[in-house]
Structure 1
């Protein structure tokens, strides 16, 4: 049986684990897949195991000396000083055994997704184990060792000669991917994130527009702290529609961090599950409008792994497979299985409660500020000379 969509998963993706206390917890992959299974929304033939990225593939973006440092660190053979020079052994990115292998499977999962989509086997592919957008050429950063999205985009360029639109809706700025293609006119990056005034990595200002031949192909929408659904969705829908029309990509790659939700412990936004229903809908539409359906989606942030991430990420797969069975109650069997492990009461429904948080006193001011940010971010393409 042939499916239009594939879901990349194997237990190898759970080996990317810094410690039991670390906020980045890939157990959320298992929770999400089990939610889809309990919903009867995924079949075994749709689940494809990730390959392990080769060192040659990693070196499309990462410096070979950094790759060697990661391998040595995972074997306990890297000195503390050398590790710190590479961003390893920090509070954010602690060293753990076999970290090179674990990280290579995350990258390989995204490359597996790329090959299935770009070779025409499927239209859409989802690798929730990926989305590690803070990794740099020679340095780990922000829970990210290797940058799977950046490697995948370079891989798409070299193997398939395609123009890529990268859309990042993580609450943290997609800095590693932006800088990797900052001077490249064939990769357009759009990141919608909480302003860096309050949040790691502190970058992602609207003035970061690219450089050299890549000038005008980097877009940032830094929204204000406490931004709510309607303002966030206005920024997303307005910017993505206009940028896609301007760039006309061959393929869309979306990074789907689920940390803009009010419950997320590491960020300061006030979105609800409403945005996670809408994010994949528009991505899907854009993929079919410009890219003959070619859409590769990855995971990313998301640190309330019980109440937020499984529902948010399930929406991506349900949209990819055009399955509208995501209203009302969550499957009782899923709630019963996981409530005993969850440290918080699990939500009973797909939607959040209407009184999720007390009213935001500066709502009108925040909304207006975000509107002005979108206007300034899109000004260059709105004011291009007509040909």
Structure 2
């Protein structure tokens, strides 16, 4: 197993909790860590601490508008002032919305950024070749407002640190089923940050952006690539588009480092989207990214978490597969040698978390897709995705 991969501690980021009923819940982190421990693939005590709070806060303040940060701070109080509550909706933080304010919100959001910054700095400075911060990936946050469960944009903060400290050329790859809009718009005019997002088309899914004509602007034109996939896309079409796009982007852009976001909500079980992929894509995409980093970025790869709302059946397996690939763990040999990936570790889950959902949990690393009902219009969907890819790649050298 490769010891040059860092696990970034998520304890402080675990305070990023809107409510126990909110779909974006840190139980996902606990279940993933529990699965990895049962597989003998994780020693959390050996993990890397996040960046110092003051350092992360300064970077957050440098990329987000001052009035927005001030409002987040005010709404983080146990009993916010009426003036702060009145301003919440303007900044995307209204109670009852997708991203409601909660006590300690500022501190928890900075902690998420601190983990992602630590991962980026460790890899770019040579302390490690790869680093994973699963609590990160809050890719919808904008400079002036919250959006889509995201308060501060930790991915943008990490990329900003890479640009400011190392003048690195950064290839950002977003595999969440929702378009990585916040990160895209942060760097839309920056020729040294290439943003690539594969997602369900915004014609049908939040945030309603990420179309092929979004290619960057000004000196950043050409450093933005969007793959807007059709609803009910399955594994083969998803992976074919992803493989060609990331290879073309890396060849043209020549990055110094890859930063990837690993929302795992393109799975058929996810309740918040319409893509019909299986766990196979979450085995294959990390494999492709590691190869890409080795061949085009000197091995430098930083991975972040993201969305994923089937907390028990999907997220732990997907994120564990990511860590296994990043570390080259021996478990991969048995996973790759069985059609269903082989059995999950005995005894999982036994995490001290909320009650298990009704119905059986997965018993194997991958899904038995032969037992799934075939998607109608498979050929038509795949052909539409192929044509979309051709259009998206027109501006890539």
The TM-score, its normalising length taken from structure 1, stands at: 0.95
Q: Does 1:325 align with 2:331?
A: yes
Confirm or deny that 1:376 pairs with 2:381: no
| Structure 1 residues 314-353: aligned runs within 5 Å | 314-326=320-332, 327=335, 328-335=342-349, 341-344=355-358, 345-353=360-368
Give the whole-Å Cα distance in 1 for the aligned partners of 2:166 and 2:201. 35
* 2:377 is equivalent to residue 362 of structure 1: yes
User: Would you say 1:170 and 2:172 are equivalent positions?
Assistant: no
Aligned equivalents of 1:218, 1:267: Cα separation in 2: 23
**CA–CA distance in 2 between the matches of 1:2 and 1:41?**
11
* Alpha-carbon separation, structure 2, partners of 1:375 and 1:60: 37
Change (3 A) 1:360 1:339: farther
SS at match of 2:312: coil
Determine the structure 2 residue equivalent to 1:190.
Answer: 196
- CA change 1:340–1:168 in 2 (3 A) is closer
Q: CA deviation at 1:44?
A: 4.0
Q: How does 1:176-325 map to 2 (within 5 A)?
A: 176-325=182-331
Partner of 1:385: none
Over 3 Å counting, the alpha-carbon distance change for 1:46 and 1:372 in structure 2 is farther
Gaps of 5+ in 2: 336-341
The answer for the alignment partner of 1:71 in structure 2 is 73
- For structure 1, the residue ranges without an aligned partner over 5 or more in a row are 383-387
Indicate the residue corresponding to 1:80 in structure 2.
85
1:3-54 deviation per Cα after TM superposition (whole angstroms, max 9, x unaligned) = 2011112422211010111110111111111111111112345412223354
d(CA) in 1 for partners of 2:84, 2:353: 42
Closer, same or farther in 2 for the Cα pair 1:337/1:86, shift >3 Å? closer
CA distance in 1, matches of 2:329, 2:56: 35
State the TM-score, normalizing by the size of structure 2.
0.93
- Please identify runs of 4+ aligned residues in structure 1 that moved more than 4 A: 336-340
Q: Deviations over 1:314-341 (max 9, x none)?
A: 1111011111414210011214557993
Structure 2 contact 56–117 (Cα < 8 Å) conserved? no
Q: Matched residues in 2 for 1:360 and 1:37: separation? A: 36
SS, match of residue 396 in structure 2: helix
Give the whole-Å Cα distance in 2 for the aligned partners of 1:124 and 1:238: 23
Report 1:38-57 matches (<5 A): 38-44=38-44, 46-51=46-51, 52=53, 54-57=56-59
* 2-structure distance, mates of 1:175, 1:356: 35
Cα separation, 2, equivalents of 1:358 and 1:341:
29
State the secondary structure of the residue aligned to 1:259.
coil
Contact 2:264 2:314 in 1 (8 A): yes
Aligned pair count? 382
Change (3 A) 1:324 1:279: farther
Tell me the distance in 1 between the aligned counterparts of 2:37 and 2:134: 15
What secondary structure does 1:48 align onto?
coil
Compared with structure 1, are the counterparts of its residues 381 and 200 closer, same or farther at alpha carbon in structure 2 (3 Å cutoff)? Answer: same
How big is the shift at 1:2?
A: 9.2
Q: Work out whether residues 71 and 84 of structure 2, in 8 Å CA contact, stay in contact via their aligned partners in 1.
A: no
Task: Name the CA shift for 1:195/1:65 in 2 (closer, same or farther; >3 Å).
Answer: same
CA offsets per residue over residues 167-196 of structure 1, 9 Å max, x none? 000000000000011011000000000000
Tell whether the 8 Å contact from 2:10 to 2:115 is kept in structure 1 after alignment.
Answer: no
